[in-house]
Amino acid sequence: MASHRLKSTLVAWGFLAPALVLFLYFKFIPMATALRMSLYEVRTYLGDEWVGLDNYRTIVSDERFTAAIWHSALLTVGVTAGSMLLGLVLALLVEGRAKYLWFVRTAAFLPVVTTLAVVAEVWRILYYPADNGPLNTVLGWVGLGPLPFLANEHSSLLSIMAVGVWKGAPYDMMIILAGLAGVDRTLYEASAVDGATTWGRFRHVTLPSLRGVFGILFILAAIRGLRVFTEVFLLTNGAPNGSTEVLMTLIYKLGLQQGELGVAAAGSVVLFLATVVLTLAVRLVRRRGAA
């Protein structure tokens, strides 16, 4: 009997082994490596030298890092809020069972499943800063522009934000739609009987039922925002004049192009901690709100 139990335990761990080994090699060992490297000056042939918290001090005091942290935060807040707001509006507009609404939903969702690299390259084209660039032409029809978009340090970060909202809003729309489907229809009817307007119905019935959905979207978007890399790397790579440098593009430059592995690792650890704190904080707030 005992050997039978032993065998079943072994089988269970055997089935788990591939996942655990892969996670160990490609998640946990890199994380430990990051922690270790962040405390050293990493030198390829000379051997690493212990520097304590110097790399972290560099991050806090280096202007490029403080600017990058600021840009990442701005981008995160802008993209998160913009996507959720636009996503909500879109969801309300396309809610329903009609066939044409299904078509609009599907079309609007395409940016979400388009590879980020393609999204960035397409927007580089749309943002082409000449007077007759694609987006400037459209702006010209309504008497606006031309705008420099990515080419000017005052508009570059906002332009990247807009791309994030373009790709993020349809995602939020889909999740909010799932939330809307869960709202009790009889409540709508009841509130109509009570003489509530559409706005009243939305405020007092719909919005409260969506609170949980918004919480989740907020966490997901905030984490996505902090780790943003690909679109910035391809759209501007930090230019012009560092106005769009975010944490990950700076970490990439330092770690993989300039060989400053220690500082880059410290930056990664800080980014990781920010992600964890954010996740836990939002969870905590939500739990308190629910209780």
Partner 1 sequence: MMGDRYDSVLGLDARRGPLAVILKILLYATMTVVFAGPLLGVLWGAFSKIVDPTQFTLVPEHGLTLENFRRAADRNVFGYLLNSFVVVGVGLLLQIMVSIFAAYSLARKRLRGAAIVMLLILSTMMLPEEVLAVPLSVVLADLPVVHLDLIGSYAGMILPVAAWGFSILVMTEFMKEVPIELEEAARIDGAGELRTFFSIILPMCRPALGVIGVFGFTMIWDQYLLPLIVATDSPQYTLPIALRTLRGDEEVGIGVLLAAALLALLPSVLAFLAFQRQFVRGLTSGAIKG
Instruction: Looking at residues 206 to 265 of the shown chain, list those that interact with partner 1 (rule: CB under 8 A).
Output: 206, 212-213, 216-217, 219-220, 223, 227, 229-230, 233-234, 248, 251-252, 255-256, 261, 264-265
Among 74, 108, 151, 239, binds partner 1 (CB under 8 A): 108
| Residue 281 touches partner 1, criterion: CB under 8 A | no
Alpha-helical regions (H) of 95-210:
99-113, 116-126, 134-141, 156-181, 185-193, 198-201, 207-209
CB 151 within 8 A of CB 135: no
Among 4, 100, 141, 195, binds partner 1 (CB under 8 A): 100
Strand-pairing partners, residue 49, are 41
Stretch that binds partner 1, among 29-37, 52-60, 62-70, 147-155 (CB under 8 A): 29-37
| Residue 106 touches partner 1, criterion: CB under 8 A | yes
- Distance of alpha carbon 119 from alpha carbon 146, whole angstroms: 22
Least distance between partner 1 and beta carbon 158 (Å): 17
Chain residues 123-142 in contact with partner 1, contact rule CB under 8 A = 123-126, 128, 130, 132-134, 137
Among 53, 85, 117, 144, binds partner 1 (CB under 8 A): 117
| Residue 47 touches partner 1, criterion: CB under 8 A | no
SS3 percent helix, strand, coil of the chain, rounded to 5, is 75, 0, 20
For residue 55, report the phi and psi dihedrals to the nearest 5 degrees.
-60, -40
Alpha-carbon distances, residue 110 vs 41, 145, 186, 195, 247 (angstroms): 45, 28, 33, 39, 28
Among 180, 196, 240, 242, binds partner 1 (CB under 8 A): 180
- Give how many residues touch partner 1 by CB under 8 A: 102
